[in-house]
Amino acid sequence: MLNKALLEDVLSAALTTGGDFSEVFVEDRFTNRMSLQSTKLEKSLSGRDFGVGIRLFKGLNSIYAYTNDFSKEGLLQAANAAAQAIQGKADKAIILPLMKQNLNAIHPIHLMPNSVDKTRKLQVLRQADQIVRDYHSSISQAIISLLEEEQHVLIANSEGTYVEDTRVRSRLTINAISSNDHDMQTGFYGPGRHQGFEFIEDLNLEHYAKEAARIAVTMLNADPAPSGKFPVVIDNEFGGVIFHEACGHGLEAAAVAKENSVFANKVGEQVASELVTYIDDGTIKNEWGSINIDDEGEEARKNVLIENGILKGYLIDKFNARRMNTESTGSGRRESYKFAPTSRMTNTYIAPGKSTPEEIIANTEYGIYAKYMGGGSVNPATGDYNFAVNEAYLVKDGKIDKPIRGATLIGNGAKTIQKVDMVGNNLGHGAGMCGASSGSIPVNVGQPMLRVSEITVGGKEAN
C-alpha cells in the first residue's frame, strides 16, 4: 500500500516538533451495497475509499490529520501540518525501525465479496424477499439489502509496529413492513459476520426472513404498551444492547480516563449483581464485531470487564492508556481513516447463567417480555439510557400474554445492572452498528435471556 521508507519518513516528519509518538493508518476499502425494494433491485452501488490518517501524541495532546492525497508530497505535508499543532523542538525525533509483523489471522475468509458475481447475490435478495412477502397478506413491503466490505489496512507507528490486515464483512438486512387501513408496522433482522459471501449463501433465510415478517405482522395487532415500573425479561442475542448502552459505553476508556463515567475508579468493587459477568471478546471466530488486530495494530483479545458483579477492567486504547497510566487492551477502533481511533467495544456479552428461559418466564408474575430489542443510547456522564423494544409481550402469571408495542425502556445503567435477578443459559449474539466519536463501527451485542427486577417502561397508555 505504501512502502516502508515512505512510512518511516512520514512517521519521522510528524515528530519534528517534539511529539513522542506517531502513527500512520492507511485504508483501501471496497464496498458493495445492493438493495431490493418493491421486488425490484433499486440500488446497486460499488465504491472505493482510499485514504491515510496520521496521528501524533505529545504527552496528553493528540493530533490527527487525514487526507486522500497519497503522493509523497501530500503525505509529508499532512504530517508537517499535524506536527505544527504542537510547538516544541524534537528532543529525539527517533522512530524505531519498522519490521513487518506477521498477522495472526483468526477469522478465515473463503469467498471474497468481489470474486462473486452480483447475479448470485441478487438471487439471495430475491429469496429473502419472497419469504417475507409470502408470510402473510398484511405484508405490504419488503426491503432487503446486502452490504459487503473488503477493508485493507496498514498500521505503522514510531514504536516499530508495522502490520497489515484485511477485514471482510457481509451483512444481510431484512425489513418487513405490514399494514392495514390505519397503521403500518415494521419488523427487522440483520445477521452479519466478519466473513465473505459464504456466510450470505449459507444463511438460514427461512428463519431470518420469516422472523422479520412475523415481528411486523405481530406488532400490527399489538396493543399499546403500559407505562410504569415492571420486571422486564430480555431475550437473548440482540437483547444484549441494553448492557451495551447501560454499561459497555461507561467501561470505555474514552469516558473512564476523564472520569466521565460512573464506573471510573471502581476496579475491584461490586458494581453489578453477582449474576453478571460481562466480557468483550474480539477473537470469537468470524463474528460481526471480531477483529484480528485493532485499528492501532494491537492484537485482538478477550477482556473480562465484570466478573460475578466485580469490576475487573476497562476497554482501553493507546491515547487514553496514557491518561490512565496503563496499557492498551486491543480496543482502539475507528470507522475509517477519517477518524482518530478511540476505545470501543467488539463483541460484548453477558456470560451464560444457570436458569432455563422457561424458568425465567414461569417465575415472573407480572411484567414485560422484550423479545427483540431495537437500538438505544446513553449519556455516559450520567449513565441514563433509553432503548426501544421492537417486539414485546406482557407476562402474566408466569405465562407470555398478549403482544404490546411502543415500549421504550429508560433507566440508569449503574442501577439496572444491580437489578439483574435471573440469568439464562442460552447465550446468543446479535449484529449491530455502534456510533461514537470514532465513527460507526460493527459490533456484536450478546446475552442469554435474563431478567431485571425493575425498569421504567414508557408507553402510550399512561396509567
Contact positions with another protein (CB under 8 A) in 78-137? 81-82, 85-86, 118-119, 122
Using the rule CB under 8 A, is 31 a contact of another protein?
Answer: yes
Using the rule CB under 8 A, is 40 a contact of another protein?
Answer: yes
Within a 10 A sphere around the Cβ of 182, how many other Cβ atoms?
Answer: 5
Residue (of 176, 185, 181, 187) closest to 220 by Cα position: 185
Using the rule CB under 8 A, is 462 a contact of another protein?
Answer: yes
Among 192, 332, 341, 376, binds another protein (CB under 8 A): 376
Question: Which CB atom, from 71 or from 104, has the smaller least distance to another protein?
Answer: 71
Residues 219-238 that bind another protein (CB under 8 A): 224-225, 227-228
Residue (of 19, 172, 166) closest to 105 by Cα position: 166
Question: Which CB atom, from 182 or from 397, has the smaller least distance to another protein?
Answer: 182
Q: How many CA atoms lie within 13 A of 455 on its CB side?
A: 35
Residues 41-60 that bind another protein (CB under 8 A): 41-51, 59-60
Extract long-range pairs of 255-264: CB within 8 Å, 24+ residues apart: 255/380, 255/381, 256/314, 256/320, 256/324, 257/320, 257/323, 257/324, 258/323, 260/380, 260/381, 261/380, 261/381, 261/383, 262/382, 262/383, 262/413, 262/414, 263/311, 263/314, 263/414
Among 14, 24, 26, 34, binds another protein (CB under 8 A): 34
Question: Which CB atom, from 65 or from 427, has the smaller least distance to another protein?
Answer: 65
Piece of 306-314, 358-366, 372-380, 420-428 that binds another protein (CB under 8 A): 372-380
Beta bridge partners of 403: 393
Using the rule CB under 8 A, is 138 a contact of another protein?
Answer: no
Among 130, 260, 363, 425, binds another protein (CB under 8 A): 260
Size of the site for another protein (CB under 8 A): 81
Piece of 13-21, 35-43, 203-211, 345-353 that binds another protein (CB under 8 A): 35-43
Piece of 93-101, 176-184, 264-272, 423-431 that binds another protein (CB under 8 A): 176-184
Residues 179-218 that bind another protein (CB under 8 A): 179, 183-186
- What beta strand segments (E) does 226-312 contain? 228-234, 278-281, 302-307, 310-311
Q: Which amino acid is at 152?
A: H
Question: Which CB atom, from 149 or from 281, has the smaller least distance to another protein?
Answer: 149
Contact (Cβ atoms closer than 8 angstroms) between residue 29 and residue 49? yes
Using the rule CB under 8 A, is 340 a contact of another protein?
Answer: yes
| Shortest reach from residue 279's CB to another protein, in Å | 24
Among 206, 259, 274, 358, binds another protein (CB under 8 A): 259
Question: Which CB atom, from 199 or from 230, has the smaller least distance to another protein?
Answer: 230
| Shortest reach from residue 211's CB to another protein, in Å | 18
Using the rule CB under 8 A, is 37 a contact of another protein?
Answer: yes
Residue (of 349, 266, 346) closest to 313 by Cα position: 266
Piece of 40-48, 162-170, 266-274, 301-309 that binds another protein (CB under 8 A): 40-48
Site string for another protein, 378-417 (x = CB under 8 A): -xxxx-xxxxx----------------xxxx-xxx-----
Piece of 1-9, 13-21, 202-210, 258-266 that binds another protein (CB under 8 A): 258-266
Question: Which CB atom, from 278 or from 387, has the smaller least distance to another protein?
Answer: 387
- What beta strand segments (E) does 296-419 contain? 302-307, 310-311, 332-333, 342-343, 347-350, 366-379, 384-396, 399-405, 408-412
Q: Which amino acid is at 371?
A: K
Q: Are strands 310-311 and 428-436 parallel, antiparallel or unpaired?
A: unpaired
Question: Which CB atom, from 103 or from 184, has the smaller least distance to another protein?
Answer: 184
Question: Which CB atom, from 264 or from 362, has the smaller least distance to another protein?
Answer: 264
Residues 281-320 that bind another protein (CB under 8 A): none
Among 4, 5, 69, 99, binds another protein (CB under 8 A): 69
Q: Tell me if residue 54 falls in helix, strand or coil.
A: strand
| Shortest reach from residue 336's CB to another protein, in Å | 10
Give dist(CA 303, CA 280) in Å, integer: 5
Among 142, 168, 177, 275, binds another protein (CB under 8 A): 177
Residues 415-454 that bind another protein (CB under 8 A): none
Q: At what angle do helices 4-13 and 72-83 cross, to 10 degrees?
A: 20
Give dist(CA 430, CA 436) in Å, integer: 19
Give dist(CA 197, CA 169) in Å, integer: 9
Helical residues (DSSP H) of 363-462, grouped into ranges: 413-416
Q: Tell me if residue 422 falls in helix, strand or coil.
A: strand
Contact (Cβ atoms closer than 8 angstroms) between residue 103 and residue 163? yes
Give dist(CA 12, CA 24) in Å, integer: 11
Q: At what angle do helices 205-220 and 118-135 cross, to 10 degrees?
A: 40
Piece of 95-103, 265-273, 302-310, 375-383 that binds another protein (CB under 8 A): 375-383
